[in-house]
């Protein structure tokens, strides 16, 4: 009987290839990050989709491009062989850059400073895409054909709620049928521990509007003309308590209790509270939480966040006006058993019963939650590979506090597909904010991780379902609810 060869020895050739081509891989990522692809503004999206498809073809992935209506292309790619198939999700669109004055370097300069690549999209999520394509290339160069079939779904509307992907998944569930799914969200925490997630919170994203006069008026009319800004503020004040507890009628009673499996998983998770406070430059946490209570709330607590408020005159100079309209955008992060439809219904009823029937609710986007088990084949492959590559046991979250179209992809087939998510970010990456960046070494390390995940999946003979829940799946839509 031949002795078992440790995976680290098996992968010495793989790792050497990555190290030898490190500069080339980093330059490919820089080239990708230098192309603006802001979906919300339609900037550079066609060129980016074509470039991504060419990059996939370059590493031997057969591709097809799909468009749903007037949406941005979904790039589908397939490579490898074997009886098992695994979906790899990614997106090529990025968030708006915000105020340029807050960036140390140009958001699309893709400059490397002290080993960090600064660019919008470097962390979310062009770096993950480039790392996965590099891993496919490296595996084929060092081992040969992939031992499993990989199905890439790379979309361009993540920042817009993925409407095309939802419709595509509903129309083509057979293309998404797989033994597991690899997502592109993950990071190293403040103690350099890799964080792996086995699901994501759902989301309901809405806009509230209060209306007043037909146009902005001189503020001298403030004594007798209703002010929509005050009206909106008063409505918002009923949604949460001063301590940040969501007070929408019936909201908390709909939340499912935490399962025994999840309760045990929470015991293994630790937040570096002091390190995070320093990183965020804050003095404390909501409701002064700490320890296990803080971890539980972070992962299994629903949220209602005011993402932005707009009304009246906020530009330079003094202008005394009575606004004609006030708007606030809110996102709700959803936990079991909260669904987007349910939250929208509860919010409307809550405002109506308090006399705010005039407050308009516009649904901007939504996504159901998705949650799977640590016992799934894909989860075991990712967790085991991460421990080897990083040299420390990863932090395994039962559900990531962020959201995405996971339910569309992983819930498109029956039975639903288990998911494991990891990425190249670190605690200081600041995705969605100014100076978004990744460490080049983390990017290269992720290539080595993905190669091992592919190898472990190919060695797996048994198929484990392991999905716990995909809650509230529905087609994407935007709706207007008036009082």
Could you read off the pLDDT of 146-185 as tens digits, one per residue? 999 999 999 999 988 899 999 999 999 999 999 999 999 9
The pLDDT score that the predictor gives to residue 411 is 78
8 Å CB contact between 143 and 10? no
Q: What domains does the chain contain, in order, with CATH numbers?
A: 7-198+373-468 (3.40.630.10), 202-367+473-481 (3.30.70.360)
The pLDDT score that the predictor gives to residue 9 is 63
Could you read off the pLDDT of 320-333 as tens digits, one per residue? 999 999 999 999 99
In the sheet with 116-118, reading across from the earlier edge strand, the strands are 111-113, 116-118, 437-439
State residue 428 phi and psi, 5-degree precision: -100, 15
Of residues 476 and 10, more confidently modeled = 10
8 Å CB contact between 371 and 399? yes
The pLDDT score that the predictor gives to residue 408 is 85
Could you read off the pLDDT of 399-444 as tens digits, one per residue? 999 998 998 888 766 668 999 999 999 999 999 999 999 999 999 9
Other CB atoms within 10 A of residue 239 CB = 19
Average pLDDT over residues 353-369: 95
pLDDT at 482 over 50: no
């Amino acid at each position: 009987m031949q002795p078992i060869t440790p995976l680290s020895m098996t992968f010495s050739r793989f790792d050497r290839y990555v190290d030898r081509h490190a500069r080339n891989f980093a330059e490919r990522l820089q080239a990708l990050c230098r192309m603006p692809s802001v979906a919300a503004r339609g900037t550079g999206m066609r060129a980016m989709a074509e470039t991504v498809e060419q990059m996939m073809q370059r590493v031997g992935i057969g591709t097809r491009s799909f468009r749903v209506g007037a949406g941005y292309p979904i790039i589908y790619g397939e490579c490898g062989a074997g009886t098992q198939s695994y979906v790899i999700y990614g997106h090529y669109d990025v968030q708006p850059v915000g105020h340029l004055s807050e960036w140390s370097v140009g958001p699309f300069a893709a400059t490397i400073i002290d080993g960090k690549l600064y660019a919008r999209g470097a962390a979310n999520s062009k770096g993950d895409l480039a790392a996965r394509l590099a891993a496919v290339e490296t595996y084929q160069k060092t081992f040969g054909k992939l031992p499993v079939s990989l199905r890439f779904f790379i979309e361009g509307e993540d920042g817009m709620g993925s409407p095309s992907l939802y419709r595509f998944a509903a129309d083509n569930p057979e293309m998404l049928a797989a033994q597991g799914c690899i997502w592109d969200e993950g990071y190293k925490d403040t103690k350099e521990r890799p964080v792996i997630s086995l699901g994501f919170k759902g989301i309901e994203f809405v806009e509230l509007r209060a209306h007043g006069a037909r146009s902005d008026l001189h503020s001298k009319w403030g004594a007798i003309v209703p002010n929509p800004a005050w009206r909106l503020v008063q409505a918002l004040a009923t949604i949460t308590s001063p301590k940040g507890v969501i007070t929408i009628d019936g909201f908390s009673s709909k939340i499912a209790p935490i399962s025994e499996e999840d309760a045990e998983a929470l015991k293994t998770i630790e937040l570096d509270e002091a390190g995070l406070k320093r990183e965020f430059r804050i003095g404390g946490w909501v409701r002064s939480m700490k320890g296990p209570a803080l971890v539980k709330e972070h992962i299994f607590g629903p949220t209602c966040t005011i993402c932005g408020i707009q009304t009246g005159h906020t530009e330079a100079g003094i202008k005394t006006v009575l606004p004609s309209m006030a708007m606030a955008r809110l996102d709700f992060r959803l936990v079991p058993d909260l669904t987007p439809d349910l939250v929208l219904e509860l919010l409307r009823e809550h405002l109506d019963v308090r006399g705010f029937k005039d407050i308009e609710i516009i649904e901007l986007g939504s996504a159901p939650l998705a949650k799977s088990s640590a016992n799934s084949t894909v989860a075991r492959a990712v967790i085991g590979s991460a421990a080897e590559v990083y040299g420390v046991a990863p932090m395994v979250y039962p559900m990531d506090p962020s959201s995405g179209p996971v339910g569309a992809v992983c819930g498109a087939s029956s039975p639903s597909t288990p998911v494991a998510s990891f990425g190249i970010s670190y605690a200081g990456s600041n995705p969605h904010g100014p100076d978004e960046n990744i460490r080049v070494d983390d990017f290269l390390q992720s290539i080595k991780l993905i190669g091992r995940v592919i190898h472990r999946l190919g060695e797996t003979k048994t198929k484990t379902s392991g999905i716990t829940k995909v809650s509230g799946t529905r087609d994407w839509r935007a709706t207007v609810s008036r009082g």
